[in-house]
Copies of this chain bind each other. A is one copy, B any other.
């Protein structure tokens, strides 16, 4: 089967590019003595997580218990759930996972630690705990070294838990390279203060786990970091182009679409809307558009309806005709893949793999 034989819209991964992305990140980590724990939320496909391990990853990251179950069933034995686990039935499930594999979770409150411990202590399971720091993204994470210490101490005293270290997600560093360097100063300051507190308290830190594709190759510049959790690097996307951590030839994933209408002057409509690309926005300041037409950067993927990509082609110099195919690089690969039950891997024009997005829809 060839890419041209696929019905559209179809998500197609260039395997050569993907494998180069995997190799490069693994090589970077090796050369800086960092453990690589890719975040598999970007694909949710066990087969791709296996390729990441084959390229030198030490374990994987997931966001949800349901995703961990999928990966565990596929044979993974070292899984970090980078999410505070709280709510009906969740601690029980977590403990069940921990009886079958090495499980680490992040958290930022004593409440969550206590709820997990209450279940864990009924069993032999031992769950690794990382305390999450808010290094400036203002989402999860404690905001002072005193809180870091308080939670670490509580965790160390709770049955069934093992305090393993720290984690953070520097989401606010999804910006251009120069700004990242400036923002890193404050991150490192907080990391230093936290690590000093823990050392003074005699609480050993095995893991300091950092972000994320935009900062991945700066992992070695963060104080104490010995593990990184990039996700998007496997495919890259329009946002990674914008922040300068990937070039066009590093973008492995495209959405193959068909032009279905050119009736409105200045417009071409393709069969990929928000239910195909996702409506995730372009993250650069003031950025607009929902993707990049690979063969025509002058076309603006200006608006999305659920099933229509509405291209403004008024600045474009090429003709658009009904029935032709376009490849679009989405803003955010993680959200795009998540729309699909299956995606394809191609070597050149030949489709080599059909992957079920097995972790998709495991929202709990």
Residues of A within 8 A of B (CB): 4-10, 41, 63-64, 83-84, 86-90, 108-109, 111-112, 115, 132, 134, 138-143, 147, 171, 258, 260-265, 267, 269, 271, 274-276, 278-281, 303, 305-308, 310, 321-323, 334-335, 338-341, 360-361, 363-364
Contact = CB atoms under 8 A, between A and B. Distances in A.
Contacts of A360: 361
A139 B63 contact: no
Q: Which of A7, A108, A275, A334: most chain B CB closer than 10 A?
A: A275
A8 B139 contact: no
B87 A141 contact: no
Given A108-B261, A112-B260, A306 B322 contact: no
Contacts of A323: 86-87, 111, 115
A83 B140 contact: no
Given A112-B322, A258-B86, A278-B279, A63 B263 contact: no
A139 B305 contact: yes
Given A111-B322, A140-B260, A261-B140, A306 B279 contact: no
A59 B242 CA distance: 46
Nearest to A85: B260
A88 B335 contact: no
A319 to B, nearest CB: 14
A5 to B, nearest CB: 6
A11 to B, nearest CB: 9
B276 A279 contact: no
A331 B5 CA distance: 36
B108 A307 contact: no
B322 A260 contact: no
A322 B147 CA distance: 16
A364 B111 contact: no
Q: Which of A269, A321, A363: most chain B CB closer than 10 A?
A: A363
A125 B54 CA distance: 52
Nearest to A82: B307
B143 A265 contact: yes
Nearest to A304: B280
Contacts of A139: 261, 264, 267, 269, 303, 305, 308, 310
A285 to B, nearest CB: 15
